[in-house]
Structure 1
Amino acid sequence: MSLRILEIGVYGHNGEVNSVKLNASGLSIITGASKTGKSSLIDIIEYCFGREQCHVSDGVIRQHVAWYGILLDRGDSRIFLARRNPKPPKTRDPDVYYAVGADLAMPERVDWNPNIGVADIEAILTSSVGISENVTTVPDGQTRNPIAANIRHALMFCIQDQDEIDSRKILFHRQSEPFLPQTIKDVLPYFLGAIDEDLLRRKVQLDLERKELRKLLKLASEREQLASLSSARTEDMFREAQSVGLLPPGQPPAQDVALGGLRAINPVVQEVPVPPDSTEPIAVLRRERTGLRRELSVLKERLRQIRQVEDVAGGFAQEAGEQKARLASLGLVTKGDVEACALCGSTDVHVPSAAEMHRTLSGIEDQLSQVRREMPRLQEAQGDLVEQQNGIEDALKRNQEQIDTLAKQDDAFRSERDSQLRLARTMGRIAYFLETLPPPPAVAASTEELDAARKRVEALEKLVDPESTEQRLTSILNLIGDYMTRDSEKLDLEHSGSRLRLDIKQLAVVADTLDGPVPLFRMGSGENWVGYHVLAHLALHRWFRQKDRPVPGFIFFDQPSQAHYPAEQDRDGDVSELPDADREAVFKLFKLMFDVAIELAPNFQIIVTDHADLRDVWFADAVVARWRGQGLVPQRWIDARS
């Protein structure tokens, strides 16, 4: 189904419309000066076709236009789509109006209310152009997600703006945007017909059959894994039950017997009797022990002091005895001359008298007598303290024995309690194991079912073999290359006469020369870049129309003559002053577009915006608007708001 553009218009804030009507088929040319809105027609088309953002440049159009509108012909009916112009600096607006009818015309005024959303545009136009349910094929080993081709993807093969048509680096519309080169590579085989609807249906059936095969294989694998896992877990549970005495020792039996043994275990675990709390008696004994140690410390200190006194007294008695012995030896001295030395008889120095010595000796004897009287009492006190010390030490020993006895009772209880806890935990694990033991699959895939499923998948895989798709794509691209090669003879391009082809992997035109392949990005001259862009898109649309592919039936070229007739040389579109070679090149380029448009009529149109305005009759007949001194936005709209 061919989708073509009949009219493109803008609606002012006063509600009026200004539009340009296009030829329903053949060539439509809008010629005019710069800054008249020619290039903005592409942005308006994309915006009305459902592009999220409005890319019309800020300026006169954005300031003085309220709505953009487009009238489409889909063969059996017409579609009118209008979108509100977002107020700068906004770039999007959700308001959309949609109408459909057999004889629909572009409304002369804004007399509608929005009735659909932006997302609805894509669905409507995707269906209108004939794009059926589809999904791109992602080769094995690649991680990107498959996508469904839609009208936005188809539009990438229908537009060449002035920055794209003379580029040697990109061939298709929006190819320079992130991720879109891969998208173009993915969807182009579908639009070319290398992946047709029958193939897509078989792919869907193959996906279903693969899903069923995976299901059967999963059931078989689960049954096998379940049997292995269940056997291992049963053996583990059986051995654990043996370790706590729930089952007799020995080698675990077969799984069924082992499960029977586990199920037969008495689930009741005897409670361990709780003994009286031994914590308090132990605490009392420890407090008693602390008191005994304190008493023992006091006794030892007193005993130390008594022994110290005894040692001092003994030392004193010994020293006093020695002094007494020395003085006693003086008993030989007479009591006569007491003024002379008893030893030498000298009277020169004072010496103690005999009376004094006798008095000292008497004092020492008194002290010795007193020490001898106290010694027995010290020894008696020391004996009492030693006896008390022995008693306290015996009490400490008995105290420790009592503490040890109570502690052993606690240890026995804890050991029994820990044993019972291990038993209870094992019982719980066994119960949980038996409760969660999965039953075998109710339905298991038989060998015959698996074989049949495998054969169905293998048969469908042969029908959707990627190599077959690749062969069809190669065949189509060869034919498109033939179209480009044939048409290139009508243009004076470098490598004319060489075989041309469209390389979908590089997204480039390639000329096969005697010196090897030359891709577009290695070709020189803006004339060549524009020429090969035009050749490639004309060849693609010749194939699209011949095979009735679901791509809109138009191609829009913006400024194709720029390599020969740039804007700064524009003289009311007159190319007569150009050098002969440039003038001839412009003529041949437009004549080729005119001839192809006539060849593919009535379901195809070529739209061109350019400065050039040739004087040939066929060119003049194709001109639908001359914007010199006027443009897309009428001057009266501008004056009314100034």
Structure 2
Amino acid sequence: MYFQLRKLILWPRHDGEPRIVEFHPGVVNVISGASKTGKSAVIPIIDYCLASDKCAIPVGVIRENCSWFGVLIDTVEGQKLLARREPGDKQSTSDMVMIEGAEVEIPAHIEDKGTTTQVVKAMLNRLAGLTNLDFEPEADSNFKSRPSFRDLMAFTFQPQNIVANPDVMFFKADTTEHREKLKTIFPYILQAVTADILQARYELDRLSRNLRRRENDLKAMVTAANAWRMEAQSWLRQAIEFGLLSADQIIPTDWPEIVDLLRRVVEANGDAAHPTLAGVDTALDRLQALRAEETVVATELTRHRQRLSELRRLLESSDIYGSSLRIQRDRLALSDWLQKLSTDAEASEPVALISNGGKQKIDQLTDALASIEVRLRPIRVCPTRWTAKCFVSARRQKRSSSGSTRSAERSACSSGIRRQPSRPSTGLTVWSASLAVWNRRSSYTTAPTSPPTCGRKLTRSRHRSPSYSARFLRPKSHESSAMQSTVSRRRPDA
């Protein structure tokens, strides 16, 4: 593409000659001058005259004294003058003037517009030789639309903000819109993706749509053929029942054989035909076989529904079990803070004055917290949709950690931490501890734990002091009846 900038023209608002800045083609042009003389406005003026969406020309002397901005460019088709009106208070305007010719003379004044930015963009796209195809067929995003001459400005301009920014390399790449479009057109600019490849993509997309349409037509035809075959087979069974065919006639499955057999039925003498006992027996056998098949399918469906219901109850009870363990962990998390405070705190801290027996109790609380963390591991790793294998794995991990949990419970009981009794069949463990630093009016309840087969329902009792009770219900099964147990937390003794 041959595209050389020859002149930059500024038309004043009042009577006067236009200001022209000439450029020499084929060489590097350096513009120098004092500060605030308009050097930084050169790139925004050129970008605005090349049909940009917004006017980035700095507001000040230039925009206040100019009515039109223009550039004269050399192309393979000759010279082209592109002029655009100053937008005033607007962000931009589509009013433009385009003059073409072998040698274009700069007019002294521009009275009115002669074209729009859309026409200029189409002309620039044609000069650049860009394809009219989108990068992706039927693309919903503008980032995958066809390349434009405006997209090439990322490789053309390097203003001061781009040079001074170490995180941005290309013009206007600091915005999401231009950055995503630059990612799309970059392979096209490097010729890694050519117009032939884009055309092949469109052809592949067209053939794929045709293939999907033919496949859908084939599926519809196969469905219709199967329906016709089943209907024809039912006609043959009726013919056997009415005596038009022999009772030992085998119903074929191939369509040509079915048609031949139906033709025999049509050609047979209908007046001589009469129902036979063998034909009725054949129909009854067919009916009995269908009923037996229906029974098997209904039984299988019931079994799967029951299995699905059990898995859903298992999932719900597992969530409740994990929630109760998390509540217990959160309430025992105070032990870590107390242990750290009693170890590292200064002598002036009240917690640091805890006797050795109190520190031992805190250590036991910390061990209980660690055992709860162990029991929470299988719940964390299990997927959202529980399976029998996941449940068995969780149960095994729970059994492996039960030994350490029981030892922690025994040591806690020997140190003064009381374990409230509960029904042995439920396997529930409730811990309570009395510490001097706790408020005697507060009620600290540790949520009980249970296997993942139990459900939980919390109820608030209407006593003067806060009290909660946790009720665990084991799902009913054909092997064991429902099991219920209620454990209540009471405020610690003074």
TMscore range, shorter length: 0.3 to 0.5
TM-score normalised according to structure 2 size: 0.44
